[in-house]
């Protein structure tokens, strides 16, 4: 087992985290898993909209995943902090593999006899199960990634982890759209399941076990709520998480991309894959820059400006009627989002004790799940009321309002200095 706090390489080595063998294996598994999830998300969205032609149905996809994920998150964080994190991640991944197989079966010719409402309900049921699995997977894999690198390399590791996720997010949607165009849902879900198998196997060869933790006098309830209490005692963390929650809740247009691809831009499933991949293209480019220059002198201001840039991008995307311009705007939104992700994740890992990483990651998962999946539901509802274009534009405007509010009411975050834990100032 690689010692989790072995002496790191040079502090400014942009590849320092990659020199940790277990972390390198972790990145390969993360890449494979994320490609699979992105393929599934792209195809499920297109499939459900093709069956229903209802924007609310797209929003219900996010709600079906978010509600079980959020409701189970705090308990999942407790479990992650009490047991081997790699094993929990593998069990959750095995459940996700089963969900991929179930979607493949529902897409197979034999299921064609199912009436549309019954098939839609079955798809939602699978998504609910996947939400439960991801409630355990997210805190387990995030805590594991912090466990297998020295603390001094957290910022570097988070940049590579985020960049890897974003690279997979570039490939996954494009691959999902291409597979759908080539062989329909059956082929796409088959590839999704095969990639899940590969990710599970790679997690299995990570040579690490979570260190034993001493007995605690905390009750289960005290342990479960420990992450919440910790975050609410840390105004910088709470401000950063709240900023992410409401900005993506209002400003996320991803759930409505099938409508833009089918009706506004008229580019079909292949174009949908490109649109879903575009934010990740910008994020990958930004991650390369951040990996080489990982610190920010005025972190709080940079975070607020990045989220404001994300809001402006959403407004511009909603107003665009050009496919190429829309892709370029989404690239810019990904660049802004990547800066926010790196800052928020570094703050979370560097300020959280190792024994609480699972529970605090679970709180982070609640915020992210609320913003992404419930934001998808909110987008579906507002699109049904006002139309997709107006829903995205109004969401972008509300995001700018959130930035102004957090900047005004959380001065500790606004004045935050250097990001790197060894060089923090202005806190």
Could you tell me if residue 5 is inside a domain? no
Task: Report the pLDDT averaged over residues 393-418.
Answer: 86
| Per-residue confidence (pLDDT) for residue 24, from 0 to 100 | 92
Residue 19 has pLDDT above 50, yes or no: yes
Q: Is residue 378 part of a domain?
A: yes
Residue 150 has φ and ψ, to the nearest 5°, of -65, 150
Q: What is the rounded average pLDDT for all residues in the chain?
A: 82
Residue 307, domain member (yes or no): yes
Report the first-to-last Cα separation within the chain, whole angstroms: 36
Under 8 Å between Cβ of 22 and 206: yes
Range of the domain at 233: 17-209+221-414
pLDDT higher at 206 or 213? 206
Residue 35 lies in a domain: yes
Q: Judge whether residue 234 has pLDDT over 60.
A: yes
Instruction: Kindly state the average pLDDT of the residues 350-375.
Output: 76
Measured CA distances, 123 to 3, 64, 129, 407 (Å): 43, 10, 10, 41
Q: Which one is predicted more confidently, 165 or 124?
A: 124
Q: With respect to residue 423, please indicate whether it lies within any of the assigned structural domains.
A: no
Q: pLDDT tens across 146-182, in order?
A: 888 887 787 788 878 887 887 887 788 778 888 888 8
Q: What is the mean pLDDT of residues 41-69?
A: 80
* Stretch 378-384: mean pLDDT: 73
- The pLDDT score that the predictor gives to residue 194 is 95
We report the CATH number of the domain holding residue 311 as 1.20.1250.20
On whether residue 419 sits in a domain, the answer given is no
64-87 residue pLDDT tens? 887 888 888 889 888 888 888 899
Total domains in the chain come to 1
- pLDDT for the residue numbered 25: 93
Given a cut of 50, is residue 403 above it in pLDDT? yes
**Residue 125 located in a structural domain:** yes
Q: What is the pLDDT averaged over residues 102-120? A: 75
Alpha helices (H) in 205-233, listed in sequence order? 220-224, 226-233
Which tops the pLDDT comparison, 151 or 212?
151
The lowest-confidence range among 141-145, 270-274, 321-325, 367-371 is 367-371
Predicted local distance difference test score (pLDDT) of residue 129: 94
pLDDT at 193 over 60: yes
Residue 265 has pLDDT above 80, yes or no: yes
* 40 closest CA partner among 191, 201, 199: 191
Residue 204 lies in a domain: yes
d(CA 125, CA 131): 10
Indicate if the pLDDT at residue 378 is higher than 80. Answer: no
Give Cα separations from 336 to 180, 283, 309, 330, 344 (angstroms): 30, 8, 6, 10, 13
Taking the C-alpha atoms of residue 354 and residue 106, their distance in angstroms, rounded to an integer, is: 42
Q: Using an 8 Å Cβ cutoff, are 333 and 310 in contact?
A: yes
The pLDDT of residue 218 is 67
């Amino acid at each position: 087992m690689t010692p989790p706090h072995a002496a790191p390489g040079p502090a400014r080595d942009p590849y320092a985290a990659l020199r940790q063998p277990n972390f390198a294996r972790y990145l390969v598994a993360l890449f494979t898993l994320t490609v699979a999830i992105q393929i599934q998300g792209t195809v499920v969205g297109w499939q459900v909209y093709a069956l229903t032609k209802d924007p609310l149905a797209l929003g219900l996809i996010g709600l079906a995943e978010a509600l079980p994920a959020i409701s189970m998150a705090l308990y999942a964080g407790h479990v992650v902090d009490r047991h081997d994190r790699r094993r929990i991640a593998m069990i959750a991944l095995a459940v996700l593999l089963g969900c991929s197989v179930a979607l493949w079966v529902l897409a197979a010719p034999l299921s064609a006899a199912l009436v549309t409402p019954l098939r839609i309900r079955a798809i939602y049921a699978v998504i609910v199960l996947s939400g439960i699995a991801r409630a355990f997977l997210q805190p387990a894999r995030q805590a594991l990634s912090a466990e297998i690198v020295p603390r001094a390399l957290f910022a570097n590791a988070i940049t590579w982890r985020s960049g890897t996720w974003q690279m997979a997010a570039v490939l996954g949607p494009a691959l999902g759209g291409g597979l759908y165009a080539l062989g329909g849902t059956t082929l796409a879900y088959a590839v999704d399941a095969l990639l899940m198998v590969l990710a599970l196997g790679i997690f299995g060869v990570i040579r690490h076990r979570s260190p034993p933790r001493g007995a605690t006098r905390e009750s289960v309830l005290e342990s479960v709520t420990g992450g919440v209490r910790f975050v609410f005692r840390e105004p910088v963390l709470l401000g950063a998480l709240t900023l992410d929650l409401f900005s993506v809740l209002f400003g996320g247009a991803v759930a409505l991309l099938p409508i833009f691809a089918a009706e506004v831009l008229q580019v079909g499933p292949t174009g949908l894959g490109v649109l879903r991949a575009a934010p990740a293209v910008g994020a990958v480019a930004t991650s390369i820059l951040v990996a080489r220059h990982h610190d920010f002198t005025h972190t709080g201001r940079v975070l607020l400006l990045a989220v404001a840039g994300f809001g402006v991008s959403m407004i511009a995307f909603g107003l665009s009627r050009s496919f190429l311009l829309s892709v370029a705007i989404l690239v810019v939104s990904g660049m802004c989002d990547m800066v926010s992700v790196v800052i928020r994740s570094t703050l979370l890992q560097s300020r959280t004790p190792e024994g609480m990483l699972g529970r605090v990651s679970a709180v982070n998962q609640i915020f992210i799940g609320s913003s992404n999946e419930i934001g998808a539901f909110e987008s579906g509802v507002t699109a049904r009321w006002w139309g997709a274009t107006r829903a995205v534009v109004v969401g972008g405007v509300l995001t700018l309002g959130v930035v102004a509010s957090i900047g005004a009411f959380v001065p500790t975050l606004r004045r935050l200095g250097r990001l790197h834990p060894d060089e923090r100032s202005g806190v």
